Structures are given as structure tokens and as C-alpha cells.
Amino acid sequence: MKKDVFKRSIIIISFILLLICAFSSVNAKEDNSDITMVTLSKGGIVIHYPSDWGYSESDSNYSIMSISKLDSIDSSGVGQVNINFEKKAIQGDFYTFLNSTYSSMQKDSSFNLTSSGEVMVNNIHAYEYTYSSSQNDTTIKAHKAVWFEKGGQAYVMLYSAPIDDFEDNLYVFDYMLSDIQIT
């Protein structure tokens, strides 16, 4: 009798788990069914990104393209969850250029560098910086910047988002970085 109750319990629990997995799988497919990948090519860079992101404005003079999560774009066209691509001609050593850039940023009390190091981007040596900054003393944003040099140009791919949204959208930045093409 105890064996029959135990067998029934196992069968019921297995059935419930199967239903939960099937329901979760169907919901996951429905949530992403309308998202496709979009290609954008500009300024010597080719990227692929999900269709729930789109082209947006940037306040940087060196920006060659900027994309944002569509539901984060404000009335001025700037996204609060944003990936910006910049390019700037440099003279001299690339590493010296980077050091001077981040040394000047560290003088600003709203800037907090949390990590830095070397990485590879499509067989190109690059530098990664993670930091936070506050805007208007109210909004704290997290940032991840990956810098590389090609042809005397400094390129940066910069992801910025409010602290609460940073981790949830980081996968888009990481995917784009792994798939970026520099022409």
C-alpha cells in the first residue's frame, strides 16, 4: 500500500513538473516570437541587434551610431538603456590616450571606476572599463566600455543603463560585441 501511494505521488509530481515545463516553454516562445535581428552598418562598423532595440540620438560629438532599447527612448530621442559607438582619430600611443581619458574622468566625483582590463574583440586587442556615474545627482547609471584601435582610430562601444536595468540588458551588449564587424 505504501508503495502504491509513493508511486502515485511520484507520478503526480512528475506530471505537474511536466506541465510547468511545457507552459514555461510556450510562454518563452510567445515572448520572443516578434523579435528578429536587425543589421546596421555605419562608420566602418556592422552590428546585429534585436528588433526591440532601435536607432536613437546621442549627445556625444564622436558618436557614429547609437541604439537604445525602444521602450527607454525619451521625448528627445535619447535612450536611457543605450549602446553607443564612437570613433575618434588619435595621435600617439593608444594606451596613453585611454589613460588620459579615464584619468580626467576620475577627477569627477560623480564617476566611480569599478574594473578595467584587457580583452579580445574579434582577434583585436581591446580594453574594457566598467564604471558608474550619476547624472543631475538623481540618476545613477552603470556603464561598460570596450575600447580598441584600428587604423589610427580609437573605437569605443559603450553600454549605459540605469543601475536597476544594467544587468537585465547586458546580454545585448555582450552579443553585439561578440558579433561586431569592423570594416
Predicted confidence at residue 110, as pLDDT, reads: 85
Query: How do residues 153-170 score in pLDDT, each as one tens digit?
Result: 999 999 999 999 999 999
**More confident: 85 or 15:** 85
- Evaluate whether 178 touches 151 at the Cβ level (below 8 Å): no
Specify the residue for cell string 537604445: 68
Neighbours of 64 (CB within 10 A): 16
CATH of domain 35-182: 3.40.1000.10
β strands within the chain, DSSP E: 37-42, 45-50, 53-55, 63-69, 82-89, 111-121, 124-135, 139-150, 153-162, 181-182
Q: Are strands 111-121 and 82-89 parallel, antiparallel or unpaired?
A: unpaired
Q: What rounded mean pLDDT belongs to the chain?
A: 83
Query: Beta partners for 181?
Result: 46
The domain limits of the chain are 1-33, 35-182
Tell me how far CA of residue 130 lies from CA of 34, 48, 172, in angstroms: 32, 23, 16
Task: Read off the amino acid at residue 181.
Answer: Q
Name the pTM for this structure: 0.78
Predicted confidence at residue 31, as pLDDT, reads: 54
